[in-house]
């Protein structure tokens, strides 16, 4: 663990992990203080009266196959938010360490850091160049107290893919100095390869994936952190022992079946088609001054009067996201790609 010992909190390295009840489903369980009876409303396969398997092997294996990585490189969490929180808690000492973010970007990186008492270093994306990374500025800002660099690609809320060569340059430059975490929550909607298979080549790279977006399981709360096996082994000590509920486990294992994966691929194609149609139509509206290109399942648009646009969408019983609080997005709103009928209602409201 030589390279990790320079980055991870020393107390986490020395931490003795919680010893959960031994998982041996073939034996009668009298060791975990569970009730021996199911509730009458419990129709799960394994029974909600029993604790679920910690880091369920079948789920880890299924997600590893889905993402093309080794099982020992994957940690299952309650969505990407949980994985972000675990990373910050493991790597950042309160009052001493920092994370680096590139705004405008997903807000949970900064929130998790501040909850932990870590400082947030901001290196804004270059808006004039389509929200690209400012690589030299990232290097300059990465002082020794920066332990994690969060990069979101496709980026939320702007929708653009970050340049793969820029990401690689940052990973190489910061090797041994900081963990570079690439959040790929929306990668399925982009015509681009995931960084996930590259974690074996770059131990300082970690990748976040989720079933919330392209697979339609936001309510299940199931995300994955893909990283070097040493990082995964370390984080298994930090994450709660029963992070995945039995309800989520059974739902997600079903979602990883071949017929469900084929259906997900068809829905992804539909989202891409609707994204192109909606982007073109929004760009023709007089009240919209700009629509940014998107590789995600949402569009970011700049409005002449964003308050009026919000009100008209709400009058049509539609909610869109006000992102004017993000740096550089003072007149922008973000809309998810809905069904064709939903998108038509939005266009009518904003016409």
| Cα–Cα dist 89/86, whole Å | 5
Q: Cα dihedral angle (174, 72, 70, 194), rounded to 10 degrees?
A: -40
Q: What is the pLDDT of residue 1?
A: 52
Two tokens, residue 87: 């990373």
Q: Note whether 2-256 and 259-350 share their fold.
A: no
Q: Which residue has the tokens 């919330």?
A: 212
Two tokens, residue 317: 């019983």
Tell me the Ramachandran region of residue 350: left when phi exceeds 0, alpha when psi lies from -120 to 50, beta otherwise: alpha
Q: What is the pLDDT of residue 3?
A: 81
| Cα–Cα dist 222/212, whole Å | 7
| Cα–Cα dist 351/335, whole Å | 15
Mapped onto helix, strand or coil, the DSSP state of residue 53 is coil
Q: What is the pLDDT of residue 123?
A: 98
Q: What is the pLDDT of residue 26?
A: 86
Two tokens, residue 212: 């919330």
DSSP state of 18: -
Q: Determine contact, residues 340/176, Cβ cutoff 8 Å.
A: no
CATH class of segment(s) 259-350: alpha beta
Q: Determine contact, residues 209/187, Cβ cutoff 8 Å.
A: yes
pTM of the predicted model as reported, rounded to 2 decimal places: 0.95
Could you report the average pLDDT of every consecutive run of 10 residues in the chain (351 residues)?
Answer: 84 89 89 94 94 96 98 97 98 97 98 98 96 98 97 98 98 96 98 95 97 96 97 96 95 96 97 98 97 98 97 97 94 97 98 95
The CATH T-level fold of domain 2-256 is 3.40.640
Two tokens, residue 80: 């990407």
Please work out, in degrees rounded to the nearest 5, the angle formed at the alpha carbon of residue 228 by the alpha carbons of 226 and 233.
Answer: 90
Domain positions in the chain? 2-256, 259-350
| Cα–Cα dist 117/87, whole Å | 13
């Amino acid at each position: 663990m030589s390279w990790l010992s320079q980055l991870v909190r020393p107390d986490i390295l020395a931490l003795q992990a919680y010893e959960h009840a031994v998982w041996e489903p073939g034996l009668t369980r009298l060791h975990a203080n569970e009730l021996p009876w199911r509730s009458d409303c419990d129709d799960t396969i394994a029974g909600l009266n029993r604790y679920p398997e910690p880091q369920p092997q079948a789920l880890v294996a299924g997600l590893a196959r889905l993402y093309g990585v080794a099982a020992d490189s994957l940690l299952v969490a309650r969505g990407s938010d949980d994985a972000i929180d675990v990373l910050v808690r493991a790597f950042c000492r309160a009052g001493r360490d920092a994370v680096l973010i590139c705004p405008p970007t997903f807000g949970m990186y900064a929130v998790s850091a501040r909850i932990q008492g870590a400082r947030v270093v901001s290196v804004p994306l270059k808006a004039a160049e389509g929200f690209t990374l400012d690589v030299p500025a990232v290097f300059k800002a990465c002082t020794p107290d920066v332990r994690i660099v969060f990069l979101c690609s496709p980026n939320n809320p702007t929708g653009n893919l970050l340049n793969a060569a820029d990401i690689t340059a940052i990973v190489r430059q910061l090797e041994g100095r900081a963990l570079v975490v690439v959040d790929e929550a929306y990668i399925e909607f982009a015509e681009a390869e995931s960084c996930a298979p590259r974690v074996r080549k770059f131990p300082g790279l970690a990748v976040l994936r989720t079933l919330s977006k392209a697979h339609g399981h936001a309510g299940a709360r199931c995300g994955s952190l893909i990283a070097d096996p040493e990082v995964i082994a370390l984080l298994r000590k930090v994450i709660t022992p029963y992070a995945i509920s039995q309800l989520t486990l059974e739902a997600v294992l079903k979602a990883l079946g071949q017929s469900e994966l084929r259906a997900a691929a068809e829905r992804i194609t539909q989202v891409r088609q609707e994204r192109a149609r909606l982007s073109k139509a929004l760009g023709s509206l007089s009240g919209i001054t700009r629509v940014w290109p998107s590789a995600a399942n949402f569009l970011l648009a700049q409005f002449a009067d964003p308050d009026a646009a919000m009100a008209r969408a709400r009058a049509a019983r539609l909610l869109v996201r006000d992102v004017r609080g993000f740096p550089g997005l003072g007149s922008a709103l973000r809309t998810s790609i809905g069904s064709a009928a939903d998108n038509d209602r939005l266009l009518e409201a904003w016409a």
